[in-house]
Structure 1
């Protein structure tokens, strides 16, 4: 599962952000879809790739889409002719009376300032954004919290379309003089990705009861992350629903970005059949050891050892 929603596509700085709270009333139905068979190796790979992608902050599609939405809201709601303005090549970007932002087929959203102009997505291709973004910021003496509500928020690239509905939050807290914590939460958060060139690469998922806690040590640079929740996915025309619980540790941000954990444990369980499960751990030589079970029997081809980077 790959997509073009990378944090690096945003030209100006933005806080990482992910999901929490309620959701929209138009949840996709999976009743007519083929249920994914845990006994097939290729299906295990589909589940692993999806769950690993939301178990850490880096290249996490939930965090990435939230970061983009928050940046857009900040830029539009804080426009000032003496500092910057925001414009669309066509379509519109409007700040509403309730402080929400509505994008209507906004083509090539651009920031204009005395220092020049730049497209928010930093691309040569046409990018069209639509939907409504509501944002609420609050803080205390040692923490900051950002709540987002995304309503039919979508980003349309030449070859990909990403659509999100749901409420999102991120809480950043100074736990001590050394530990800084980011807490991400989500419930009934729906994400869809459409590959216009390869329909077999389309996917959608719903996140429920999702939390991702990431602790960063200022003195050592070490990162310790724990994630858990429920994921219902539709990938390659097959659906699955699993509970997951993970713990990853990284020596520093560079190790996180190249998916090279110093510690790792990820447990995945089929909600519909608890005898179907996947366990991913870190081996002594630093690779990922995958054990997969269907009806409590080891799936053919497992245990399997791969490089962590293969999950990306």
Structure 2
């Protein structure tokens, strides 16, 4: 799973103080049948597994969480932005959007808005948004909860396309504060460019991002390079400072990934000294050739 698409997009929680409509969770799964199972004995295959999982555990640059935040912000901009002096419109003539009391629907819209007569684009470069978003915010047991459903929510930037289907719930202390916990029962998503496609199904995902640590659990099924894998993961990552967290330089890391087809296939990544990571990998209980190995966390920072 690449992490280029959302590097310069509008990711503000400005509009999360409003409460929108809700909706049923999407369940538009992708087929993972009849695919070749990924071979754990081949070292080059293992990055296909741990790269997206590290991204799903990242506090900064988490493509899934960034996309959900984008979708929620766009929802509130279109649904209630005018009350706060904002007006949304598509920068491209062929783009469009519409809204109802429950959701918004976009069609290849390069979205921008005006505030106090000044035009602001959602993205510095052209970004086409399509699909439907519904979200609802409300108080639940002294925390603010936001339930969001994405249906064929598509982001197109620079010949890269990401598509998301599923629902999430998040908890925060206040309506306009960053959530401290995300729960996703199921989210199907794809990443594609002109030459390559990656397909994923994420289930039972729990993500707790704090300023200097994250706790992540879940199951990920993926198809990339026409090879399929299915793993569970349980990760804890800590950072010495907020700056290290943003740069993804852990002071402590325990990333454990296990094959659901054979629990003797596993990947374990821990922190060593000097911002380096120690990767251990096992195929049917035997250490994979080329492992253990030490790499810079920069190489794992997707």
Taking structure 2 as the reference length, the TM-score comes to: 0.89
2:251 to 250, 257, 262: 262
1:103 to 81, 102, 106: 106
The 5 Å alignment of 1:289-304 reads 289-304=278-293
| 1:213 partnered with 2:221 | no
Shift of 1:296: 0.3
Give the Cα separation in 2 of the matches to 1:154 and 1:59: 18
- Which stretch shows the higher mean deviation, 295-304 or 277-286? 277-286
1:68 to 67, 70, 81: 70
| 1:92 partnered with 2:81 | no
1:25 to 24, 27, 39: 27
What are the Cα deviations for residues 122-159 of structure 1, in whole angstroms up to 9, with x where unaligned?
A: 21xx3221111001001258422111001111012241
Shift of 1:181: 6.7
Q: CA RMSD in A?
A: 2.3
Contact 2:43 2:290 in 1 (8 A): yes
* Ranges in structure 2 where 5+ consecutive residues have no aligned partner: 17-22
Distance 1:169 1:8, change over 3 A: farther
Shift of 1:214: 2.4
Distance 1:103 1:181, change over 3 A: closer
What are the Cα deviations for residues 48-99 of structure 1, in whole angstroms up to 9, with x where unaligned?
A: 111111012211111011011011001001132771211113332112133x
Contact 1:227 1:245 in 2 (8 A): yes
Q: SS at the partner of 1:52?
A: helix
Contact 2:249 2:297 in 1 (8 A): yes
Q: SS at the partner of 1:251?
A: coil
Q: Give the aligned partner of residue 253 of structure 1.
A: 242
Number of equivalent positions: 290
Q: SS at the partner of 2:173?
A: strand
Contact 2:59 2:246 in 1 (8 A): no
Contact 1:56 1:212 in 2 (8 A): no
Shift of 1:237: 1.9
The 5 Å alignment of 1:88-167 reads 88=90, 89-90=92-93, 91-98=95-102, 100-106=103-109, 108-123=110-125, 126-139=126-139, 142-167=142-167
